[in-house]
């Protein structure tokens, strides 16, 4: 029998808010242990939660960015379970009335066809504390760091629409881009600001039954999500093929052994409406206010870049994944740089140079205006490509403009025919062998001669003019 997988994703995203979800403590889980705590997030007697306005706004922005529909009424529930990472015996989460319902993301399927994957709902919840297990001599001790307790999270729950690891991975890539676009989170699986659980079951291909699912956790990259899903499909297919029952449980991905390992029986505690956090009522005006803050989303931007600058769909799509890169590109266009060389120089020269210097594109001293000046010099043949690369390197070190550097260093390209004719004549006289080779039809001798002229000119000769002169003289 042939099986097909049914996969749903639960994605936790840590919002990049200044404070925690229910108190004013800084939302910096990485600080010194328990530095960011207060009577509210430690749930001392008499503490009262207070929902962060910024968290609500960021969460709402994220929902709208994913095409979801914000609910006029949403509320917090208590997810009851007892564990030392939970300072009050329950986690505040929106189990019954989530912040938004619906939404979805379009991706390119394996066969290159666009396909939409649906989001069931998105809800807000608070993060839990971090447990650290240590040895005090021979005595094992468990320490709790409450810095993360109460950090603002959203959970995106998809429909079980995915039928392959590829689909899930593509979905996550696009989702990450969109959430970064709205500025709600860095969405790094490596540092844990994005955490993905996959619910996987299998069924005979072509049926629509829903079988017992297994939850897989602990993947710290999108690649691992794909690997874990692929492994789990194999594992379950083999089990069902051997007539073993699949039981509801949670498994952990082991990235070293590249297998999933059973963790525990899945315990679902009760979810009781919370009486302390008031119901969240969103007016249509408030929702429109948030919608107005929504940036142009990547798919729309890519389409516009294609239309306005004549980029290919691939180029525009690639450019739009990162809002900073796309913004930089558009600033170059605004400064009058032509699209194709602009894109080429941005992606092949500037981005690697910025990365090499461990800078952020938004903070590099080579601003779009300065970079545009350099590209204009190149376009006007005032300098050649090699010189441009060298000037770019200097622009990271000095505040001087490209033209200034060119002038100061005497980099200006020599395009004056009379001056170049003199150098060409000298080289031809000095290289009789190469001249003979060229005349006998050996094409690469021309390259050698051009190189000699460039060298003699200190790299400043315009190679196009040199080629013309050489061919004219010898041909």
Partner 1 sequence: MRFTALDDATVVQRLRSAGIRICGMTGMSEFGLGLTGSSAGRVVETKHADVELVLDLMGESRVAAVRVGACGFKPSYGLVSRYGVIGLIPSMEAVGLLARQPRSIRTVLGCVAGADERDFSMPEEPVPGFDEEWTVPAGTRVGVIREACSGLTPEQLTGFQQGIEELRAAGCAVSEVSLPDYPLFSLVHKIVGSVEAASSTGRYDSVRYGPRAPGAKNWNEMYLGSRGAMFGTLVKSYLFQGAYFQFENYAAYEDACRIRARLLGQTQRLMQEADYLVLPCPPRGGAEEKSALEAVYAAFAETLWANVTGQPVLALPLPGSAGAVGGIQLMGPRLSDARLLALGEMVLDRRKGDR
Q: Which residues bind partner 1 (CB under 8 A)?
A: 39, 42-46, 48-51, 78, 80, 82-84, 87-90, 142, 144, 146, 269-270, 272-278
**Cα 301 to chain centroid, rounded:** 16
- Write down the least CB distance from residue 368 to partner 1, Å: 44
Using the minimum distance from each CB to partner 1, give the nearer residue, 86 or 225.
Answer: 86
For the CB of residue 34, give the shortest distance to partner 1 in the complex, in Å: 10
CB of 123 to partner 1, least distance (A): 19
Nearer to partner 1, 263 or 414 (CB): 263
CA end-to-end distance (rounded Å), the chain: 73
Question: Which residues fall within 8 angstroms of residue 54, CB to CB, at 6 or more apart?
Answer: 17, 18, 19
CA atoms 27, 175, 10, 192: torsion sign:
negative
Instruction: State in angstroms the smallest separation of the CB of 14 from partner 1.
Output: 22
SS3 138: coil
Q: Evaluate whether 271 touches 286 at the Cβ level (below 8 Å).
A: no
CB of 277 to partner 1, least distance (A): 7
Instruction: Give the nearer residue to partner 1 in terms of CB position, either 88 or 304.
Output: 88
Supply angle C-alpha 174, 157, 232, rounded to 5: 80
Between the CA of residue 51 and those of 56, 88, 124, 126, what are the distances in Å? 8, 17, 11, 11
Residue 48 or 408 having the CB closest to partner 1: 48
Q: How far apart are CA 162 and CA 219, in angstroms?
A: 17
CA dist list (Å): 192 to 13, 89, 277 = 8, 24, 27
CB of 82 to partner 1, least distance (A): 6
Least distance between partner 1 and beta carbon 275 (Å):
4
Q: What's the closest the beta carbon of residue 185 comes to partner 1, in angstroms?
A: 24
What residues form DSSP beta bridges with 16?
A: none
CB 147 within 8 A of CB 33: yes
How many other CB atoms are found less than 10 A from the CB of residue 352? 10
User: Which of 219, 241, 236, 238 has the alpha carbon at shortest distance from 228?
Assistant: 219
Largest Cα–Cα distance in the chain? 96
Cα–Cα distance list, 340 to 310, 312, 313 (Å)? 9, 10, 13
What is the token pair recorded at 247? Answer: 């039981």
CB of residue 37 vs partner 1: minimum separation in angstroms? 9
Q: What is the Cβ-side half-sphere exposure of residue 228, based on CA atoms within 13 angstroms?
A: 31
For partner 1, the closer of residues 73 and 257 by Cβ is 73
Q: Give the Cα separation of 377 and 409 in Å (integer).
A: 15
Q: Which is nearer to partner 1, 52 or 349 (CB)?
A: 52
């Amino acid at each position: 029998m042939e099986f097909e997988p049914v996969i749903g994703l639960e994605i936790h995203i840590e919002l990049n808010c200044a404070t925690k979800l229910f108190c004013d403590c800084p939302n910096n889980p990485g600080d010194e242990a328990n530095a960011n705590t207060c009577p509210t997030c430690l749930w001392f007697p008499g503490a009262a939660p207070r929902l962060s306005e910024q968290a609500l706004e960021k969460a709402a922005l994220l929902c709208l960015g994913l095409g979801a529909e914000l609910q006029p009424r949403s509320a917090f529930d208590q997810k009851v379970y007892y564990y030392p990472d939970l300072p009050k015996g329950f986690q505040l989460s929106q189990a019954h009335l989530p912040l938004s319902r619906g939404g979805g993301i379009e991706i390119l399927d394996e066969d290159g066809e666009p396909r939409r994957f649906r989001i069931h709902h998105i809800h807000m919840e608070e993060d839990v504390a971090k447990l650290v297990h240590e040895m005090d001599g021979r005595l094992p001790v468990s320490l709790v760091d409450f810095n993360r307790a109460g950090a603002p999270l959203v959970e995106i729950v998809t429909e079980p629409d995915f039928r392959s690891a590829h689909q899930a991975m593509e979905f996550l890539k696009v989702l990450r881009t969109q959430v970064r676009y709205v500025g709600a989170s860095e969405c790094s699986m490596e540092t844990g600001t994005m955490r993905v659980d996959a619910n996987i079951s299998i069924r005979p291909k072509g049926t629509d039954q829903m079988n017992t699912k297994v939850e897989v956790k602990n993947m710290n990259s999108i690649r691992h999500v794909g690997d874990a899903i692929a492994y789990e499909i194999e594992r379950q297919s083999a089990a069902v093929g051997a007539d073993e029952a699949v039981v509801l449980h949670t498994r952990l991905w082991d990235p070293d052994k590249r297998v999933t390992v059973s963790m525990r029986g899945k315990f679902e505690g009760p979810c009781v409406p919370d009486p302390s956090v008031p119901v969240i009522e969103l007016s249509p005006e408030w929702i429109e206010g948030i919608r107005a803050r929504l940036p142009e989303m990547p798919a729309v931007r890519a389409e516009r870049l294609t239309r306005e600058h004549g980029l290919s769909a691939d180029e525009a799509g690639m450019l739009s994944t990162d809002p900073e890169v796309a913004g930089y590109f558009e600033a170059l266009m605004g400064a009058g740089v032509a699209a194709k060389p602009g894109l080429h120089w941005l992606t092949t020269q500037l981005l690697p140079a910025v990365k090499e210097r461990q800078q952020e594109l938004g903070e590099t001293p080579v601003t779009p205006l300065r970079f545009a000046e350099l590209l204009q010099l190149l376009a006007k043949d005032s300098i050649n490509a090699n010189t441009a690369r060298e000037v770019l390197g200097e622009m990271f070190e000095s505040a001087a403009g490209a033209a200034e550097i060119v002038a100061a260093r005497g980099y200006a390209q020599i395009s004056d025919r009379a001056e170049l004719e003199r150098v060409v004549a000298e080289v031809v006289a000095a290289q009789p062998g190469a001249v003979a080779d060229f005349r006998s039809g050996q094409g690469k001798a021309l390259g050698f001669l051009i190189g000699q002229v460039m060298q003699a000119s200190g790299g400043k000769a315009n190679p196009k003019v040199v080629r013309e002169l050489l061919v004219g003289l010898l041909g």
